[in-house]
Homo-oligomer: A and B are copies of this chain.
Amino acid sequence: MISIIPVPGLPEIEPDHDLAALFVETLGEDFLRDGDVLVVTQKVVSKAEGRTADAETKKEVVASESRRMLRQVGTMVISETHHGFVCANAGVDESNISVGQIALLPVDPDASARRIRSRLEHLTGCDVKVIISDTFGRAWRLGQTDIAIGVAGMQPFTDYVGTQDTQGREMRATRICTADELAGAAEMVMGKADGVCAAVVRGAPVTSGRGAAVQIVRPPGDDLFR
């Protein structure tokens, strides 16, 4: 069984706030366990890292956060960020941040995840995996889901290539992006307006390791739809 537990009640996050310490304080020192996955939304990580800007500069910021523009519809662009993520407005948006401000994606969300993980380990002694999540749209399907833009302490994929199915046949093509499924699962306990910005997923089948969310980016040359 998997449990998804919201982390409630963080204060408004300011630059240089120690997110890991705030999570431990809110959850209680003995709450986290080895193998737990802490999913943290991008917005609070960006705020803690000072990755905000004046909303009036949004157009320029979106351009400078992009390495390639893919599509444009009205004022919304779909671009490829410097990390390789394909998303609306290079991940720059104005929700859940002070009026007049915009939030940018962390410069290196995998490094952000590793820092939070390392600090959690220092504070609790536990091997907690960390995912930084953001809400992205998709080609072909309406609605958004949360996906992983930063990963630490685990492999982003659960790989079935080379394993056998129930009939003993080799599975050739199945490699599940567990990091994205964890991010989406955690989203369900985070109402967009009630200030829950993190969740603990307990009991999930994660593979420990030095994985990173950049591994999830499909190389543009292999992408049939870019």
Contact = CB atoms under 8 A, between A and B. Distances in A.
A71 B223 CA distance: 11
A38 B199 CA distance: 22
Contacts of A184: 145, 180-181, 184-185
A150 interface: no
Given A5-B1, A185-B181, A96 B165 contact: yes
B139 A140 contact: yes
Interface stretch (A16-24, A58-66, A171-179): A171-179
A88 B94 CA distance: 36
A210 interface: no
- Chain A, interface size category, equals 35 or more
Interface string A1-20: 11111100000000000000
A109 to B, nearest CB: 14
Given A99-B167, A169-B95, A160 B192 contact: yes
A46 to B, nearest CB: 15
Interface in A24-49: none
Contacts of A169: 94-95, 99
B139 A147 contact: no
B141 A217 contact: yes
A177 B217 contact: no
Contacts of A188: 2, 178, 181-182, 185, 204-205
Given A139-B224, A188-B204, 13 more contacts: A1-B189, A3-B4, A95-B169, A135-B176, A142-B177, A142-B218, A143-B180, A145-B177, A160-B192, A165-B193, A176-B192, A178-B188, A191-B205
26 contacts: A1-B4, A71-B225, A86-B140, A95-B169, A97-B167, A99-B169, A135-B174, A139-B223, A139-B224, A140-B223, A141-B147, A143-B175, A143-B216, A144-B175, A145-B180, A145-B184, A160-B193, A163-B192, A166-B193, A166-B195, A176-B187, A176-B192, A178-B188, A181-B188, A185-B188, A188-B204
